[in-house]
Amino acid sequence: MEKQSSTILLRSLAYLKGVGESRAKLLAEELELYTFADLLSFFPFRYEDRTKCHNISEITEDSLYVQLKGRLRNIQSMGEGGKKRLEATLEDQTGQVKLIWFQSIHFVRPRLKEGVDYLVFGKPNMFSRHFSIPHPDFELFVSSDKQAALTPIYHSTEKLRANFLDSKGLTKLVRNLFEVISTQIAENLTASILGKYELMPRIEALQGIHFPSTASVLHRSLRRLKFEELFFVQLKLLRLRHVRLSKHAGLPFTKLQIHNKFFHDHLAFPLTNAQKRVIREIYTDLNSGKQMNRLLQGDVGSGKTVVAFMCMLMAIDNEAQACLMAPTEVLAEQHFKGLQPMAEKLGLEMALLTGSTKRSERNKMLPRLAEGSIKLIVGTHALIEDEVQFQNLGLCIIDEQHRFGVAQRAKLWQKQPRLFPHVLVMTATPIPRTLAMTLYGDLDVSVIDEMPAGRKPIQTVHRYENNRAKIYAFLESQIQQGYQAYVIYPLIEESETLNYKSLMAGVENIQQHIPTASLSVLHGKMSSKEKEQSMAAFAANQTQIMVATTVVEVGVNVPNANVILIENADRFGLSQLHQLRGRVGRGQTQSYCILLTEYNLSQDARQRLKAMTETTDGFKLSELDLKLRGPGALDGTQQSGVVELKLANLAKDGEIVQQSRMAAIQLLEDDPTLVKSEHKQVFDFLQNEQQNPQKQWGRVS
């Protein structure tokens, strides 16, 4: 049955009753629907409850959508040219309401009959103290029990509506589809999973999401299909991990001589318990003989860099090389400057390779890297260039991995021809558990959830525009005490000119109020070299205030900066605000974050700003950000394209994410290669998904 079902689902929509070649072409162009399978998974975006008819007198200004039953009167065309409209009056025993059409009048007019009863559904508008319903759905009233279910509403377009493929037309096509395929939809989950998680059969769920008889049926259908969607995303990720662990050997790191010497003799500060735990987790991987692929999450300032360095020492202890790749030159240079003194204490040479490294320096460095005399190197994308070769690359550490493409990372791995190097991915973006499971399900995850001792929590306040003079006075007092400050302006999308103008107006304002301070400026019109010079001057305390439109790089470390003023803070997401706040509080002194806004704010903005003043826990904030904004923009980077989900919402479906992951783990523990007969439907579905280029359950980085 699965073979037949998968074959029929791949059939072109041109062969579905009511479609044909021309409509099939339109559906492909307008909605990217090509096959029976595409239409089956083209779900309604909302439902209208047409189980109840209201009296016309019950309509109020708060009414969203209403269904009415009444008799049609006074059908007439009004106006001329572009102002032409069609009007009719619907009346029942309690009152009258006007129905109005501004478009498709030639299509609507022949369907309206004077003195006949109709069912009408739409959104009432109040105009001149009278209610009207523009462009209502309507049909002849046949019997009182005709509408006994929720009505599905499908996305359509102007072109489709002109070809009678509005939501109602698409509903007819889906009904025609079920007539053909309802007996041929195979189950794709096992009987034990269906029973354990109380899931309805697949065919019932598909019918229930398109044509739910009750709200309860819709809820159960959605839960089943969300579970299925997440289950197969997790299953693919976990199988990738299983293949890596079973087939990809890694260089075993068993010796810890230099690593232990650094730990006992040269650590400037004692490690936190969280750092010790994470190092143990990483060492267990590195010692296993399997290739490590681990994600290291740690909030801003939690001490990821020293953990990374100690892992690099494990590579050297075992006669291998280690590299650390950062997304920008500023960050690469900062990592290098932070790690080089530690390396020198151990008598180790560390190299830096970026796009700015001179050819003469490269010519000296690259042969020594290839022969293995340079063991430690920090760099940018320059590390993946073809001319860069390693003698024995054992460990790759990638900082802020979401800013590197899959192909770029793969090029690093190819530089070790015998065994894949171990991979440690680091991020300072706290990622909620449900999102990490789905984005990084093939990685093992370590979390540094404890801050180093002695760090004072950053004091965060929200102030309005009328406090600006007091804020400048506070900035000036901190600068007079020898500290530095950031002033950040939000990016106005697609308008470099406006960004530049608002920034320069801000610079003038600051110079006027704090004339003794020297300023660094950072904006989109500057070259990379100018940006780096500006940052370098600020880092060297040659300037006291850094004014920037662009987000100051994640990881930029100026411990002497203890104040950050964020202008129009309501324009930033929570994760972004938290990352910005992390630019201060990097030393032992008290630090401050000032969120400045106008008084008029949306409810969401007030919620974000309130959360920022109440907690400095990045994981709590990321959970709230996920709920407020969805998975699309963490740290200002577009992550929603990493995993495409049709139904599941990672912000709201955390329980289903965890249940589906547990089901996938248990299935693979029992049958890693899915060869058992009771798992055939799961295996077949996976195979069919991979063969169908039009449909992808998850595109995982």
Whether pTM > 0.85 for this model: the answer is no
Which residue, among 218, 293, 572, 328, has the nearest Cα to 443 in the 3D structure? 293
> Is the pLDDT score of 578 beyond 90?
no
Strand, helix or coil for residue 640: coil
> Is the pLDDT score of 432 beyond 80?
no
Q: What percent of the chain has pLDDT over 90?
A: 35
> Is the pLDDT score of 638 beyond 50?
no
* Residue 195, pLDDT score: 94
> Is the pLDDT score of 6 beyond 80?
no
> Is the pLDDT score of 3 beyond 60?
no
Average pLDDT of 483-500?
76
CB 594 within 8 A of CB 542: no
Distance CA 118, CA 139 (A): 6
Give me 308's structure tokens: 């990374």
* Residue 80, pLDDT score: 81
Lookup result for tokens 């991987």: 285
Average pLDDT of 525-537?
81
> Is the pLDDT score of 700 beyond 80?
no
Strand, helix or coil for residue 424: strand
CA distances in angstroms from 602 to 352, 607, 608, 612, 691, listed in the order given:
46, 9, 10, 16, 46
> Is the pLDDT score of 360 beyond 90?
yes
* Residue 500, pLDDT score: 67
* Residue 558, pLDDT score: 84
Residue ranges and CATH numbers for the domains of the chain are: 1-44+155-186 (1.10.150), 52-147 (2.40.50.140), 257-448 (3.40.50.300), 459-629 (3.40.50.300)
DSSP 390: -
Average pLDDT of 466-471?
92
Of residues 384 and 224, the one with the higher pLDDT is 224
> Is the pLDDT score of 554 beyond 70?
no
* DSSP codes of every residue in 241-280: HHHHHHH-B-------HHHHHHHHHT-SSPPPHHHHHHHH
Average pLDDT of 651-658?
82
* DSSP codes of every residue in 543-604: -SEEEESSPPPTT---TTEEEEEETTGGGS-HHHHHHHHTTS--SSS--EEEEEE-S---HH
Average pLDDT of 371-397?
90
pLDDT tens for each residue of 83-102? 888 999 999 999 999 999 88
Distance CA 616, CA 622 (A): 11
> Is the pLDDT score of 689 beyond 80?
no
Distance CA 485, CA 488 (A): 10
Of 41-55, 268-282, 454-468, 679-693, least confident by mean pLDDT is: 679-693
pLDDT band per the 50, 70, 90 thresholds, residue 690? low
pLDDT band per the 50, 70, 90 thresholds, residue 582? confident
Of residues 535 and 275, the one with the higher pLDDT is 275
> Is the pLDDT score of 499 beyond 70?
no
> Is the pLDDT score of 395 beyond 50?
yes
| Count of H-run helices and E-run strands, the chain | 24, 24
Q: Is the dihedral of CA 195, 198, 204, 210 positive or negative?
A: negative
Give me 661's structure tokens: 């992951």
Neighbour-count burial of 439, counting CB atoms closer than 10 A to its CB (0-12 exposed, 13-18 middle, 19+ buried): buried
Which residue, among 155, 94, 156, 97, has the nearest Cα to 123 in the 3D structure? 97
* Residue 147, pLDDT score: 52
> Is the pLDDT score of 148 beyond 60?
no
Which segments of 287-385 does DSSP mark as H helices, in order? 304-317, 329-345, 359-371
On average, the pLDDT of the chain sits at 84
Average pLDDT of 578-582?
86
Which range is most confident: 342-351, 412-421, 501-510, 643-652? 342-351
Distance CA 259, CA 244 (A): 27
The set of residues, in sequence order, having a beta carbon less than 8 Å from that of 571 and lying 6+ positions away, is 490
Distance CA 665, CA 642 (A): 22
* Residues linked to residue 47 through DSSP beta bridges, in sequence order: 152
> Is the pLDDT score of 652 beyond 50?
yes
Distance CA 245, CA 166 (A): 50
Give the full edge-to-edge strand order of the sheet including 95-101: 125-127, 130-134, 95-101, 85-92, 66-78, 117-122, 137-140
Give me 63's structure tokens: 């009414």
Cα dihedral: 495, 497, 499, 505 (round 10): -150
Give me 100's structure tokens: 């109005």
Average pLDDT of 311-334?
90
* Residue 625, pLDDT score: 76
pLDDT tens for each residue of 230-282? 999 888 888 877 776 776 777 889 998 999 898 888 888 889 999 999 999 99
Of 11-15, 121-125, 569-573, 633-637, least confident by mean pLDDT is: 633-637
Average pLDDT of 619-638?
61
Distance CA 650, CA 436 (A): 10
* Residue 673, pLDDT score: 86
CB 338 within 8 A of CB 279: no
> Is the pLDDT score of 214 beyond 80?
yes
The set of residues, in sequence order, having a beta carbon less than 8 Å from that of 323 and lying 6+ positions away, is 376, 377, 378, 379, 383, 390, 393, 395, 396, 397, 412
pLDDT tens for each residue of 100-128? 988 878 888 888 989 999 988 888 888 87
pLDDT tens for each residue of 282-310? 999 999 888 888 889 888 778 888 999 99
Distance CA 592, CA 92 (A): 65
CB 496 within 8 A of CB 525: yes
